[in-house]
Structure formats: C-alpha cells, structure tokens
C-alpha cells in the first residue's frame, strides 16, 4: 500500500508503532521496522542521552530498515536534557522522530536541519494545525479512545479524523483504537494515510515486556480502562487495577484540591515494576480501549502481514462487493 506516510518515512506499510515508555526498546522497534512498518524507540525510557545512543546502535544491529525515536515533552518533575537527546538522535542517523506532549517548536530547527522527518502526536484539530504551521511533516491524530494521554477534549476518532482531514494539508495517521485491518481501512476512509498503534503492539511476541502485561491486555475488554489525573488536566487512560482504584478514590476525596503529590506513588516511576517485573498492580499504566480487540499474541510480522492482507480483502471484496452494479 502506498500513501503519503509510506512515502514520507520510506516504509512498506502505513503502520507506525507509537513511542511507549518501558516498551519501546530496540527489540520492538526493530521487529516493527523489519515487518515493513515504522518502529519507534522511546527516548526518555533510556534515562540518558548516552543510553539512547547505545539503544539506537543496538536497534541498528537488528534491522537495516528505517526506524524512529519518540521524544515526549510531558510535564516532567525534572526537565530531561532534550538538546542532548536530540544530539544522540542526529548522530545516530535517525530519519524519523515522533514528538508528543508540549509544542516541539523550539527543537524543530535542529531536527529539520538534520533532514529528520517529524510527526507530532496531537489530540485535537487545533494542535494539529499548530503542528502543521510550525513545520511538522505529519501528525499522529490521537483520539479519545487511545492508551496514554488523550488530552482534555474527549473527541473520539470517528469525529476527530474526518475533522483533521477537513483542515490539514500535511498527511496524518490515525492513532488510538487501532488494532486490525478494519481499523486501517476505516481510518483510510476517514482521511488518514496510515495508523499508529500502541496497545496492540504490546501484545506481540517480540514486545520486551513481562508476559503478565501481555496477558492483562489479552484478558481486558473495552470496558476495562479508566481515566486518571483528570483533575490535574493531565488525563491518562490506563488499565483498571487496584492501584488505579486507589487513585480514583483519592481523586474523589480531594476533589479540586488534588495535587500530583497525592498520587505520586501510584503514577511516578512505576513502569519498571510493571513492564519488567510483571507486578500488575504496582501502579497506573497506559492502555487503550482497543485492548477489547486484542485476541491473541502474534509475532509483529504476523500481525502486520494479517493487517495488510485483510485490508486488501476488505477493500477489494467486502467494500467493492457492496456497490450496486
């Protein structure tokens, strides 16, 4: 399949793996790129620019295909050294960067000068237009159903994607709720030129996380995610567990007086215990409603091949077949 996204990133299939804290290591990024998509290493998980440089080199040994790096500009409790992370990205020969969170404008000139294509993740049309105006090459439009941070507007992709198509000139991918060929074909119909998946890629053989994480996604239905940190305007969609119930109880009790320090133990620094040790109640971890559409744990190659093959069948047989002669 050829779209402006496959052309932009030099990839075979319009399928991107979104940056994921403590999931987006070289193993997953290389597997996605080797399968013809765009794999992405998550910079901040590496803890330092030096470690990111090593992770990029490690990924390079596992694939000769293009892969990208995610740079997340979230409200951090201590500001990471972003310019040094960008040094590691540039010297590592990376050609694609997924930015997310705050406006990436101050860092764009260096990325662009290095010939890097930038795709910014946005949860609204106005942020997408801003990304376009500051020179981003593409946008990842993240609907309300997404795992992670859906923003505060609560617009699902059925509305957000066609609205983005009506306003944007640069290409965009649909992010949030994407699991299979039906997601891809629907997103293309709504105006996107590819898909970005997070949760679905965790439930694959190559995802370098504890088996308990994969099984939790497999067991979850579309009813099992919760929104935490709403009162802080830093909403995160996470999988329900004991720790999340605790957060929600504290949020109800504190009301408008809630401070991040009230729930810090449940939301900060919890990913290693969850993703590496498989302690599923150790804290809140991002997960999309799409968990309800995850029925197996295939290899990344099997997943992407299935998506592309089934998309072909849906377009040529099901949709064409619906047209009256």
Interaction of residue 198 with ligand FMN, rule CB under 6 A: yes
Run of H or E including 197: strand 195-197
> Can you state the angle between helices 49-62 and 82-91, rounded to 10 degrees?
30
CB nearest ligand FMN: which residue? 198
Interaction of residue 287 with ligand FMN, rule CB under 6 A: yes
Strand 117-122 vs strand 96-101: parallel, antiparallel, or unpaired?
parallel
| 39 CB-side CA count, 13 A | 32
Q: How is 62-122 classified by DSSP, letter by letter? A: H-SS-EEEEEEE---SS---HHHHHHHHHHTT--EEEEEES--GGGHHHHHHTT-EEEEEE
Select the residue interacting with ligand FMN from 89, 96, 290, 304 (CB under 6 A): 290
Q: Is the dihedral of CA 239, 120, 181, 203 positive or negative?
A: negative
Reduced to 3 states (helix: H, G, I; strand: E, B; else coil), residue 127 is: helix
Residues 228-267: x where in contact with ligand FMN by CB under 6 A, - otherwise, as a string: ----------------------------------------
Q: In this structure, what token pair is assigned to residue 106?
A: 């101050």
Interaction of residue 288 with ligand FMN, rule CB under 6 A: yes
# residues near ligand FMN by CB under 6 A: 29
Which segment (3-11, 159-167, 196-204, 313-321) binds ligand FMN by CB under 6 A? 196-204
Select the residue interacting with ligand FMN from 177, 203, 263, 270 (CB under 6 A): 177
Interaction of residue 308 with ligand FMN, rule CB under 6 A: no
Shorter beta-carbon distance to ligand FMN: residue 147 or 194: 147
- The contact set with ligand FMN (CB under 6 A) reads 18-21, 23, 42, 70, 72, 100, 121, 142, 145-148, 175-178, 196-200, 285-288, 290
């Amino acid at each position: 399949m050829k779209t402006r996204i496959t052309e932009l990133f030099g990839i075979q299939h319009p399928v991107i793996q979104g940056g994921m804290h403590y999931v987006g290591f070289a193993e997953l990024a290389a597997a996605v790129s080797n399968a013809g998509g765009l794999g992405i290493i998550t910079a901040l998980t590496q803890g330092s620019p030096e470690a990111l440089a090593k992770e990029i080199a490690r990924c390079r040994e596992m694939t000769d295909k293009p892969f990208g790096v995610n740079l997340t500009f979230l409200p951090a409790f201590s500001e990471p050294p972003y310019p040094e992370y960008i040094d590691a990205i540039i010297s590592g020969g990376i050609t694609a960067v997924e930015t997310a969170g705050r406006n990436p404008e101050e860092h764009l000139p260096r990325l662009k000068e290095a010939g890097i294509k930038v795709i910014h993740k946005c949860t609204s049309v106005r942020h997408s237009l801003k990304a376009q105006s500051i020179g981003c090459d593409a946008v990842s439009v993240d609907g309300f159903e997404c795992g992670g941070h859906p923003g505060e507007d609560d617009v699902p992709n059925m509305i957000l994607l066609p609205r983005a198509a009506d306003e944007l000139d640069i290409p965009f991918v649909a992010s949030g709720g994407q699991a299979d060929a039906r997601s891809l074909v629907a997103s293309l119909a709504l105006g996107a030129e590819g898909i970005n998946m997070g949760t679905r890629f965790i439930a694959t053989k190559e995802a370098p996380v504890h088996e308990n994480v994969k099984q939790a996604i497999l067991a979850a239905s579309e009813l099992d995610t919760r929104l935490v940190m709403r009162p802080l305007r830093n909403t995160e969609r996470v999988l329900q567990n004991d720790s999340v119930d605790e957060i929600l109880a504290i949020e109800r009790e504190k009301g408008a007086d809630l401070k991040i320090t009230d729930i810090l133990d449940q939301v900060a620094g919890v990913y290693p215990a969850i993703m590496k040790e498989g302690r599923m109640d150790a804290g809140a971890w991002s997960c999309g409603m799409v968990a309800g559409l995850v029925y197996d744990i295939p290899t990344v190659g099997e997943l992407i091949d299935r998506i592309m093959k089934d998309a072909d069948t849906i377009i040529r047989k099901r949709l064409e077949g619906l047209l009256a002669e």
